[in-house]
A and B are shown apart, each in its own frame.
Chain A
Amino acid sequence: MNNFLLLPIIIPFFFGMILMFGQKNISYQRVTSLVGLLISIVCAFLLLLNVYENGPQVVTFGDWPVPFGITMVADSISSLLVLTTLTLAFFIVWYGFKSIGKEREQFFYYPGVMFIITGVNGAFTTGDIFNLFVFFEVLLMSSYLLIVLGGEKAQLRESIKYILVNVLSSAFFVITVAFLYSVVGTLNMADISIKIAELNQPGILTVIAVLFLLVFGMKAAIFPLYFWLPSAYAAPPIPVLALFGALLTKVGVYAIMRTYTLFFTHDLAYTHELLLILSVITILAGCIGALAHFDVKQIIIYNIVIAVGVILFGVAQMNEVALEGAMFYLIHDMIIKAALFMLIGIVIYVTGTTNLRKMGGLMKTYPALGWFYIIAAFGLAGVPPLSGFVGKLLIVQGGFEAGNLWSSVFILASSIAVLLSVIRIFIYAFWGEQGTISPNVNPSTYKGLFIPTMLLVFISVAYGVGTEWITPFMDHAAKMLIDPSIYTDAVMKGGE
C-alpha cells in the first residue's frame, strides 16, 4: 500500500485536530498527544523498513502523472529524519508534562506541537518545491504560536523579531521559486533536477542556487544569517526550546542538503565552495558565541549554530563519505540537542537560575543528573563510543579526500571548543562550592523531568554504540545524495 508514506504526516495532523476539542481537560490532552505520537512512531519505523527493502516510496496525489501532480517521496533520508523527529517529539512532550505549566497546556500547546510535527514531517517527505514552501509555513505558523504562548514580556519581544525574520525569508522563498519556475517551468523536484541537468546549469541557475542558500540559510542559521537565533530561542520555555533546537534549524539544513545534491550539482566550483566557506565561518561564529556566554541556554544555543556548520561542511564536500557523515551527524545532532536542552532545563529547574556563575556543587545533591550530563556532553563533542564520533569522523575523512586539508583540521579543532563550552557548564554547575538552589524543588517533578531525559540519553548512547546496525540505512541515504538519478528515476517511474 503506497499511501503508507503519508501516515507520519496525517496522524499528527489528525490528532492535532481532535486535540483542539476538550482544551481544558489536561489528562485528555496529554494521553491523546502521547498516543498519537506513539502510533506515528510505529508507522515511521515501518516506513523506514519498507523504504530500506523496496527503495524510495512515491505517491502522487490524485493519480496525476508525475510532473503534473504533487508528489510525496519517502527515501531513506526522509524516513530516517521523520522517525527521529517523531521520537524526539514523544520525549519532549513527555518532558513537558512537568515543566510547561497548566496555563499553556490548557491553551493549545499540544495541538501546536502536533501541527509543528505535521509541518516538519511534511517538509522532510515532500517532492514538490512549492509544497515545501507550504509545509515550511505550516511549521513556522505553529512555531509562532509556541514561541509566544504564555505572553511573557521577553516572549512577546523576541517573537516579533522571530516572525519578522521568517516573514522575510518566506517572501524570499516565494521569489526564488518564481525565478526557478520561469527558468525550468516545473515545480516537481525530480523534474527540476532533470531540467537543470539538460540546461547544464547556466549562470542564472547559479544565482538561484545562491538565493536558495539565502532562504534556507536563514531558517538553518548559517553564518551571516544566524543573528536572529540566539535571542529568539532563549525566550520560550525549555520544552519548546528543545523542540525548536532539535527540529527547526535541521529542516533548513535538510532543505540545503536536498537542493544542493539534487538540483545544483553542475557548478560545484562556485556553489559548493561558497557553502564550504560559509560553513567554516558558521562554526567559528558558533564557537565564539558558545565560549563567550555564561548563560547555560545561550551556550547550548550557540552549539546549534556550530552543528549546522559541521553538517553543511559535510554537504559541501560532495563525496559519498562526507555525505554519509553529514547524515550520521544530522541525526546525532537532533537527538543530542534535544537531550542537552532537557538536561539544562533540569539544571535550571533545580538551581532557579540560568547564570553559570551562581551555580555550583550539584554533584553532591544530584549525582545522576551530573553523570548523564557528562555522557551527553562527551557525546556532543564526539568521544569515540558515543554518538557524535562516527559522523564527524566520516565528515573529516571526506574533507581530506576532497583535498580540503586545512578546513578539515579546523573541524577537528572546533570539537575542542565544543567540548570546552559544555564541560564548562559541568565544572561550574556540578563541582565546587554549593551555589544557589531553588527553594521549591519537588522530587516528583524532578523525577518526571529526569526519566524522559535519561531515556533520550540512552538512545543517543545506543546510536553511538550501535552504529553497525544504522550504517546500511545511512549507506542508502548517502548513495541517494551522491547520485540524483536514483531519486529522479524512482519519482518519474513511480507516477506511471
Chain B
Amino acid sequence: MEIVMAFVCGFLFMAAMYLILSRSLLRIIIGTGLLSHGAHLLILTMGSFGGSAPPVLADGVTDYVDPLPQALILTAIVISFGVTAFFLVLAYRAYHELKTDDMTLMKGSEHDE
C-alpha cells in the first residue's frame, strides 16, 4: 500500500511542478494546490498504514492508527488554506492592476531606471 501511495505522491509532485513552471498565474496556483495535496498524502504515508481502527478510544479496540500524522496534516491543511486564499486574492488584485496573468510579462521594467 505504501508503494502505491508513494507513486501517487510522486505523480502529484510531478504534476504540481509542471503546472508551477507554466506561464499562467492560475495554473501556478493550481500547481501549489496539488503540491500541498501531495505533501499531506506523503505525511499520511510516512506515518505508515499500520492499525485498523480510527484513533478514537472505544471498548475492545487495541489496534489504532497512528494519530500523530493526522494531527500534523490537519494543521498543514488549514495553513495551506490560509495561504492559498491569500494567494488567490493577490492574483485577482494583480490581474486588475497589472492587466495580465502571464508571469513572463511581470517584469520590473518601469522601476529599473
Point out residues on A near B: beta carbons under 8 Å: 130, 133-134, 137, 140-141, 144, 148, 151, 153-154, 156-161, 163-164, 167-168, 170-171, 174-175, 177-179, 181-182, 187, 231, 234, 295, 355
CB distance from B60 to the nearest CB of A (A): 25
Smallest Cβ-Cβ distance to A231: which chain B residue: B108
Chain A residues whose C-beta falls within 8 Å of the C-beta of B87 in the assembled complex: 160, 163-164, 167
Contacts of B76-113 to chain A: CB distance below 8 A? 76, 79-80, 82-83, 86-87, 90-91, 93-94, 97-98, 103, 106, 108, 110-113
Chain A residues whose C-beta falls within 8 Å of the C-beta of B72 in the assembled complex: 130, 177-178, 181
Most B-side CB within 10 Å, residue of A134, A144, A175, A177: A175
Contact A168 B20 (CB under 8 A): yes
With A and B bound together, what is the CA distance between A144 and B36 in angstroms? 18
Contact A159 B108 (CB under 8 A): no
Contact B47 A156 (CB under 8 A): no
Given contacts A164-B28, A355-B113, 9 further A-B contacts (CB under 8 A): A144-B86, A158-B108, A159-B90, A167-B35, A167-B80, A174-B36, A181-B43, A181-B72, A182-B48
Contacts of B1-60 to chain A: CB distance below 8 A? 20, 25, 28, 32, 35-36, 38-40, 42-43, 45-48
Residues of B within 8 A of A (CB-CB), count: 39
User: Provided the pairs A130-B75, A153-B97, A355-B113 are in contact, do residues A160 and B90 lie with their beta carbons within 8 angstroms?
Assistant: yes
Most A-side CB within 10 Å, residue of B25, B76, B103: B76
Contact of A178 among B46, B82, B83 (CB under 8 A): B46
Total A-B pairs, Cβ < 8 A: 101
Chain B residues whose C-beta falls within 8 Å of the C-beta of A158 in the assembled complex: 108
CB distance from B83 to the nearest CB of A (A): 6
User: Provided the pairs A168-B35, A171-B36 are in contact, do residues A181 and B69 lie with their beta carbons within 8 angstroms?
Assistant: yes
User: Provided the pairs A144-B86, A181-B69, A355-B113 are in contact, do residues A160 and B43 lie with their beta carbons within 8 angstroms?
Assistant: no
With A and B bound together, what is the CA distance between A220 and B46 in angstroms? 27
Contact of A164 among B20, B38, B39 (CB under 8 A): B20
User: Provided the pairs A164-B28, A168-B20 are in contact, do residues A174 and B39 lie with their beta carbons within 8 angstroms?
Assistant: yes
CB distance from B4 to the nearest CB of A (A): 16
CB distance from A218 to the nearest CB of B (A): 14
Contact B113 A156 (CB under 8 A): no
CB distance from A136 to the nearest CB of B (A): 10
Q: Which 4 A-B pairs have the closest CB atoms?
A: A182-B46, A178-B46, A178-B43, A174-B39
Smallest Cβ-Cβ distance to B72: which chain A residue: A130
User: Provided the pairs A167-B35, A181-B46, A182-B48 are in contact, do residues A157 and B106 lie with their beta carbons within 8 angstroms?
Assistant: yes
Chain A residues whose C-beta falls within 8 Å of the C-beta of B32 in the assembled complex: 164, 167-168, 171
Most B-side CB within 10 Å, residue of A137, A160, A163: A160
CB distance from B105 to the nearest CB of A (A): 10
With A and B bound together, what is the CA distance between A177 and B20 in angstroms? 22
Chain A residues whose C-beta falls within 8 Å of the C-beta of B113 in the assembled complex: 355
Contact B75 A154 (CB under 8 A): no
Contact of A160 among B20, B39, B79, B94 (CB under 8 A): B94
CB distance from A353 to the nearest CB of B (A): 8
With A and B bound together, what is the CA distance between A157 and B101 in angstroms? 10
Contact A154 B76 (CB under 8 A): no
- Of the A-B pairs whose beta carbons lie under 8 Å apart in the complex, a sample of 8, sorted by A's number, is A151-B97, A157-B108, A160-B94, A167-B35, A170-B80, A170-B83, A171-B38, A182-B47
CB distance from B76 to the nearest CB of A (A): 5
Contact of A141 among B43, B86, B93, B108 (CB under 8 A): B86
Smallest Cβ-Cβ distance to A159: which chain B residue: B90
Chain B residues whose C-beta falls within 8 Å of the C-beta of A161 in the assembled complex: 106
Chain B residues whose C-beta falls within 8 Å of the C-beta of A174 in the assembled complex: 36, 39-40, 42-43, 76
Chain A residues whose C-beta falls within 8 Å of the C-beta of B111 in the assembled complex: 154, 234
With A and B bound together, what is the CA distance between A459 and B86 in angstroms? 38
Contact of B82 among A141, A171, A187, A234 (CB under 8 A): A141
Smallest Cβ-Cβ distance to B41: which chain A residue: A178
Contact B79 A134 (CB under 8 A): yes
With A and B bound together, what is the CA distance between A140 and B83 in angstroms? 9
CB distance from B13 to the nearest CB of A (A): 9
Contact of B98 among A157, A178, A234, A295 (CB under 8 A): A157
Contact A157 B35 (CB under 8 A): no
